[in-house]
Amino acid sequence: MTKMRIIVSGGGTGGHIYPAMALIKRLKERDMIEDVLYVGTEKGLESKIVKNAGIAFKTIEIRGFKRKLTIENVKVVELFLSSIRKSKKIIKDFKPDIVIGTGGYVSSAIVYAAHAMHIPTVIHEQNTIAGVTNKFLAHFVDKIAIAFPDAVDQFSEKKKLVFAGNPRAQEVVNIQKNDRLKEFNLTPDKPTVMIFGGSRGAKPINLATISALEKFAATDYQVLFVTGRVHYDGVIEKIDKKYLNCANIAVLPYIDNMPEILPDLNLIVGRSGATSIAEITALGIPAIFIPSPYVTHDHQTKNAQSVSKVGAARVIAEAELTPDSLFKNVDEIMGDKKLQSEMSEKSKKTGVPDAADRLIKVLSDLVNK
């Protein structure tokens, strides 16, 4: 089996970084890496995550264009050109067999530079709506790996497209049900719904949940309410103390190593980022998505719709989120085991549990071409 020297680049948000890290992890598990280098920005989230993982890391300076025509965009162009020059030096020194970009402005320079130096290139698009960087790079790369079938329409270069899924899915698919619910004073074998607005939390989801706790307290299932660290203190102040001491409600700021707890859940309520959907569908967990309306091109809504249209999830628009709509949808699913089973099966069918291996095949085929 051919071992590869690989450069990976992706940054800005966890949605770009975690699939890249999952790919690297799987390549190492299969003993397919001779050496790996991650290229990011010093100020980006990737700097902390990649360094903490002990992966070689180099930085370039680059920024995204402003949507309006401004003098600042002149500086952005200058940075892009200088980042390409630095990227070429990085490539010349490292001598990769292939370069993959997983999104974010930082990947544009290193992937474009690799193309200019006739090195095989791949981009990975996690969302149904392609990002600006990947739309730009699509014209130059050898292959475009997509995580949602609905993303096909985002690219004119149809011959380059490969459906791979999101590598993050393969990281969680083998996690087994465990007793982590005990850590939160909940019962491990009791039906459980988790309500979670992302790592930072989501105020509208938190407020709706707080107001619905009176009804949740009277149900025969458990509620794991994860507020996000930023909102936790404010949430605790708003909750009637009797609900904080309720046997079937747990309120937490965050859960470390969140994927470990997923197999213990019967239903997840939360945002519809690409990574979350990859994890949820890999394990076949029914979901109620409340897409963030604040993301570029409203891509979370499109992500959620791609899962809900096959019956694997429900979608509540944030503008239509109320304590009653939240409780009604949760209670209908949690109170119907047949519906849960049907949603779970449909969710598994939309998931791609071998996503990392699919993407690795794309890389390997190009290197061995």
193 close to 267: Cβ distance less than 8 angstroms: yes
CATH ID of 4-170+354-367, from 1.20.58.390, 3.20.20.140, 3.40.50.2000, 2.120.10.30: 3.40.50.2000
359 close to 23: Cβ distance less than 8 angstroms: yes
CA distance 299 to 305: 10
pLDDT score of 71 more than 60:
no
CA distance 135 to 59: 23
Buried b (16+ CB within 10 A) or exposed e, 134-170: bbebbeebbbbbbbbebbeebbeeeebbeebbbbbbb
Whether residue 300 is annotated as binding a ligand: the answer is: yes
Whether residue 219 is annotated as binding a ligand: the answer is: no
Give me the percent of the chain exceeding a pLDDT of 70. 96
Which of 102, 278, 252, 219 lies closest to 110, judged by CA? 102
pLDDT, mean over the chain: 92
CA distance 104 to 132: 8
Which pLDDT score, from 0 to 100, does residue 263 have?
94
Angstrom distances, CA of residue 216 to CA of 125, 229, 238, 324, 330: 38, 22, 16, 11, 9
Apex CA 256: angle with CA 220 and CA 197, to 5°?
A: 60
Q: What is the pLDDT of residues 269-313, one digit of tens each?
A: 999 999 999 999 999 999 999 999 988 889 999 999 999 999 999
Which pLDDT score, from 0 to 100, does residue 75 have?
67
Which of 310, 267, 319 lies closest to 291, judged by CA? 319
Over residues 326-346, mean pLDDT? 98
pLDDT score of 229 more than 60:
yes
Whether residue 296 is annotated as binding a ligand: the answer is: no
**Higher-confidence residue: 326 or 78?**
326
Which pLDDT score, from 0 to 100, does residue 271 have?
96
Whether residue 47 is annotated as binding a ligand: the answer is: no
Whether residue 199 is annotated as binding a ligand: the answer is: yes
Over residues 26-37, mean pLDDT? 97
Whether residue 44 is annotated as binding a ligand: the answer is: no
Where in the sequence of the chain do the CATH 3.40.50.2000 domains occur?
A: 4-170+354-367, 180-350
Which pLDDT score, from 0 to 100, does residue 243 have?
86
267 close to 288: Cβ distance less than 8 angstroms: yes
Q: What is the pLDDT of residues 46-58, one digit of tens each?
A: 988 999 999 999 9
How many helices (H) and strands (E) in the chain?
Answer: 14, 13
Which pLDDT score, from 0 to 100, does residue 81 have?
83
Whether residue 17 is annotated as binding a ligand: the answer is: no
CA distance 280 to 193: 13
Topology at the third CATH level for domain 180-350: Rossmann fold (3.40.50)
